[in-house]
Chain A
Amino acid sequence: MRHEIIMSGFGGQGVLLMGQILTYAGMLEEKHVSWIPSYGPEMRGGTANCSVIITEGLAGSPMVEEPTAAVVLNLPSLDKFEAAVRVNGVLIVNSSLIDKAVKRQDIKVYHVPVNDIAIELGNLKMANMVALGALIAAIDAVEMEVLFTAFAKKFASKPQVIEANKAAINRGYDYVKKSLN
Chain B
Amino acid sequence: MSEKVLMKGNEAIAEAAVAAGCRHYFGYPITPQTEIPEYMSKRMPQVGGVFLQAESEVAAINMVYGAAGAGARVMTSSSSPGISLKQEGISYTAGAELPCLIVNIMRGGPGLGGIQPAQSDYFQATKGGGHGGYRNIVLAPNSVQEMADLTMLGFSLADQYRNPVMLLGDGVIGQMMEPVEIKENNTRAVEKPWAAVGMHGRAKPNIINSLYLKANELEDHNNRLQKKYALMRGNEMRWEEIHTQDAELILVAYGITARIAQSAIDIARENGKKAGLLRPISLWPFPEPPFVRLAKTATAFLTLELSAGQMIEDVRLATRDAKPVYFYGRTGGMIMSPMEIYQEITKILDGKEGK
Complex interface: chain B residues within 8 A of A142 (CB):
none
**Shortest Cβ gap from B255 to chain A (Å):** 12
A residues in contact with B115, CB < 8 Å: 39-41
A11 an interface residue at 8 Å Cβ cutoff? no
Considering only residues 1-53 of chain A, those with a C-beta below 8 Å from chain B are 20, 23-24, 27, 33-37, 39-41
Distance in angstroms between the alpha carbons of A34 and B6 in the assembled complex: 9
- Give the CA-CA distance A35 to B31 in the complex, in Å: 18
- Chain A neighbourhood of B6, CB < 8 A: 20, 23-24, 27, 33, 35
* CB of B337 within 8 Å of the partner chain: yes
- The distance in angstroms between the C-alpha atoms of A63 and B338, with both chains bound, is 10
Q: Which residues of A contact B266 (CB under 8 A)?
A: 60
A102: chain B residues within 8 A (beta carbon)? none
Encode A86-121 as 1/0 by CB contact (under 8 A) with B: 000000000000000000000000000000000000
Complex CA distance for A40 and B176, rounded to whole angstroms: 14
Chain B residues touching A, majority SS: mixed
Is B248 at the interface (CB under 8 A from chain A)?
Answer: no
Q: Does any Cβ of A come within 8 Å of B130's Cβ?
A: no
Chain A's closest residue to B333 (CB) is A40
Most buried by A among B6, B32, B260: B6
Chain B residues whose CB sits within 8 angstroms of the CB of A62 once the complex forms: 172, 176, 178, 256, 259
Residues of A in contact, count (CB < 8 Å) = 19
For residue B195, CB closer than 8 A to chain A, the reply is: no
CA distance A180 to B241 in the complex (A): 46
Interface size classification for chain B: 20 to 34
B53 on interface, CB distance cutoff 8 Å: no
Residues of B within 8 A of A37 (CB): 175
Residue from the list A23, A34, A39 in contact with B32, Cβ < 8 A: A39
Residues of B within 8 A of A34 (CB): 176-178
- Distance in Å: Cβ of B45 to nearest Cβ of chain A: 18
> At the interface, yes or no: A139 with Cβ under 8 Å from chain B?
no
Is B335 interfacial (CB-CB < 8 Å)? yes
CA distance A65 to B260 in the complex (A): 12
B171 closest partner in A (C-beta):
A39
Q: How far is the CA of A178 from the CA of B171 in the complex (A)?
A: 42
Please report the C-alpha to C-alpha distance between residue A135 and residue B114 in the assembled complex, in whole angstroms: 34
Which residue in B4, B177, B259 is a CB contact (below 8 Å) of A60?
B259
For A161, what are the chain B residues with a Cβ–Cβ distance below 8 Å?
none
Complex alpha-carbon distance, A27 and B177, angstroms: 11
Q: Which residues on A sit within 8 Å (CB–CB) of B338?
A: 60-61
* Set A20, A58, A61, A63: member contacting B177, Cβ < 8 A: A20
Docked pose: A61 CA to B175 CA in angstroms: 13
Does A59 interact with chain B (Cβ within 8 Å)? Answer: yes
- Residues of the A chain whose Cβ atoms lie less than 8 Å from the Cβ of B175: 36-37, 39
Q: Are A36 and B172 in contact (CB under 8 A)?
A: yes
Residue of A nearest to B339 (CB): A65
Q: A20-B177, A61-B263 are in contact. Are A27 and B172 (CB under 8 A)?
A: no
Q: Which of A24, A59, A62 has the most CB of B within 10 A?
A: A62
Q: Is B156 an interface residue (CB 8 A)?
A: no
Q: CA of A138 to CA of B16 in the docked complex: distance in angstroms?
A: 38
Cα separation A35 to B259 with both chains bound (whole Å):
14
Q: Nearest-CB distance from B112 to chain A (Å)? A: 13
Residues of chain B contacted by A39 (CB below 8 angstroms): 31-32, 115, 171, 175
Q: Is B262 an interface residue (CB 8 A)?
A: yes
Closest approach, in angstroms, between the C-beta of B159 and any C-beta of chain A?
A: 32
Provide the A118-154 mask, 1 if CB < 8 A to any CB of B, else 0: 0000000000000000000000000000000000000
Question: When A and B form their complex, which 7 residue pairs have the shortest distance between CB atoms, in order from nearest?
Answer: A60-B263, A35-B177, A36-B176, A61-B260, A27-B179, A62-B176, A61-B263
Known: A34-B177, A61-B259. 7 other contacts (CB 8 A): A33-B6, A33-B178, A35-B177, A60-B338, A62-B176, A62-B256, A65-B337
Binding site for A on B (CB under 8 A): 4, 6, 31-32, 115-116, 171-172, 175-179, 256, 259-260, 262-263, 266, 335, 337-338
